[in-house]
Amino acid sequence: MKILFITLSFVISLFSFNYISANNQDLYKKLDVFGDVFDIIKSNYVEDIDDEKVIEYAINGMLQSLDPFSSYMDSEIYTDMQEETKGEFGGLGIEVTMENGYVKVISPIDDTPAARAGMRPGDYITHIDEIDVLGLTLSEAVELLRGPVGKSLTIKVVRIGEEDPIDVTLKRAVITVQAVKFKAEGNIGYIRLISFSEQADKGIRNAVKELSNSIGKNNVEGYIIDLRNNPGGLLDQSAKVTNNFLKSGEIVSIKGRDKNDISRFTASGGDIANDKPIIVLINQGSASASEIVAGALQDHKRAIILGEQSYGKGSVQTIFPLKDSSAIRMTTALYYTPSGDSIHRVGITPDIKVEYIYDEDEETDNQLNYALDLFDKEKMVE
């Protein structure tokens, strides 16, 4: 019986090896086909081709076939990306993705050319200086959007609710993102978190400290954390920012290809807001790291989430540097709120839905005003 078992195990192992080998052979055949296609293009295309560019396009096409957030970055784009995470870069000041062949705006960044020109989350860019975006990769479109500082460009925008496309002219600038802004609204501390760059956690801590000093520690009634149009950024910064307002408990869990391999961020510090009420503002431009913060504070009943449904980017991208100083950005995991919900393509649902209505004459912010009114004790109880 023992000999039979060993023999059977050997046969199964041999079958598995042959199966894997067959799969590898099929893969190698496809790679041979790729090489054949490249040779045919190189020899027969109507014009001479840039060999390196064609291969880069092929790599990017492979990644873009996976999801809109995976992409190839040549050495120049990779360098620009590294500068962005430090809080300073050149361009228009918009976070974008590719959807249905066009560039989709996730969010404009405060105090940038895009924000000042009135770009909105959900806008579709169809043309850049009369160049049709359809057929371009996201990297190619981004390269067209970037350019010499001070030089203007015109983009054609399709906006939901508008019958005709809109032409928007913007002037490129050096974008310096101040991660956090804050001010006192009476006895309420208002904190605007613009991006999750390397400055985010330090900025939040400083904002709470300064507001507590200016209002008076015993006089602070609560805080409003504004995550509207915050496209996200560094994962570790989102965990650190959340940790500032939770004494314990899970912040976010991350699950990759192996569903049993789960990484968890948990709160271990203290509540720098001293248990004061918190209201978090979100909208469709709140994505990724913003959704981690909003989801964790919502699940732990630490904050009231107010505004509109968030974007729904619940995936984690890992940067893999390559030998030639380029890199690939690839989705490697999905993240989940403490309650176990994935917000990918769904978003965070606010506790109180308030549609944003901007009054150009009054220049009022109805969502912020609603949040300030909530600090009336009777309304907070309700």
Which of 142-156, 190-204, 228-242, 293-307 is the least confident region?
142-156
Give the span between the Cα atoms of 261 and 242, in whole angstroms: 23
Q: Is the dihedral of CA 358, 363, 365, 369 positive or negative?
A: negative
Which of 61-70, 86-95, 191-200 is the least confident region?
86-95
pLDDT at 84: 64
pLDDT at 330: 93
Say yes or no to pLDDT of 7 above 70. no
pLDDT in tens, 166-185: 999 999 988 777 889 999 99
Catalytic hit among 195, 313, 315, 326: 313
Per-residue pLDDT, averaged over 9-20, amounts to: 47
Q: Give the Cα-Cα-Cα angle 85, 128, 75 (nearest 5 degrees).
A: 40
pLDDT in tens, 252-291: 999 988 877 789 999 987 899 999 999 999 999 999 999 9
In the structure encoding, which two tokens stand for residue 117, read together? 């020109």
Say yes or no to pLDDT of 21 above 70. no
Average pLDDT in the chain: 87
Per-residue pLDDT, averaged over 364-376, amounts to: 90
DSSP strand pairing (364-365 vs 358-359)? antiparallel
DSSP strand pairing (102-108 vs 88-91)? unpaired
Say yes or no to pLDDT of 81 above 90. no
Catalytic hit among 74, 110, 299, 310: 299
Per-residue pLDDT, averaged over 94-119, amounts to: 89
DSSP strand pairing (188-193 vs 180-185)? antiparallel
Q: Enter the pTM of the model.
A: 0.74
Whether 286 is catalytic is no
Q: Which of 213, 227, 222 is nearest to 185 (CA)?
A: 222
Whether 202 is catalytic is no
Of residues 160 and 5, the one with the higher pLDDT is 160
pLDDT at 97: 85
The answer to whether the CB of 191 falls within 8 A of the CB of 180 is yes
Catalytic hit among 288, 290, 310, 326: 288
Confidence class for position 99, pLDDT limits 50, 70, 90: confident
pLDDT at 311: 93
272-281 per-residue burial string, b: 16 or more CB within 10 A, e: under 16? bbeebbbbbb
Q: Which of 61, 66, 68, 87 is nearest to 311 (CA)?
A: 68
Per-residue pLDDT, averaged over 52-74, amounts to: 88
Give the span between the Cα atoms of 235 and 319, in whole angstroms: 13
The answer to whether the CB of 83 falls within 8 A of the CB of 263 is no
Give the span between the Cα atoms of 184 and 211, in whole angstroms: 7
Confidence class for position 377, pLDDT limits 50, 70, 90: low
Per-residue pLDDT, averaged over 160-166, amounts to: 90
Per-residue pLDDT, averaged over 83-108, amounts to: 80
Give the span between the Cα atoms of 203 and 63, in whole angstroms: 35
> Could you tell me where the beta strands, DSSP code E, fall in 124-179?
124-128, 131-132, 152-158, 166-171, 173-176
Whether 288 is catalytic is yes
pLDDT at 9: 44
Say yes or no to pLDDT of 11 above 50. no
The phi and psi torsions of 308 (rounded to 5 degrees) equal -125, 165
pLDDT at 98: 85
Residue count of the chain = 382
pLDDT at 80: 74
Give the span between the Cα atoms of 73 and 277, in whole angstroms: 43
Give the span between the Cα atoms of 332 and 294, in whole angstroms: 22
Q: Which residue has the tokens 């040549």?
A: 74
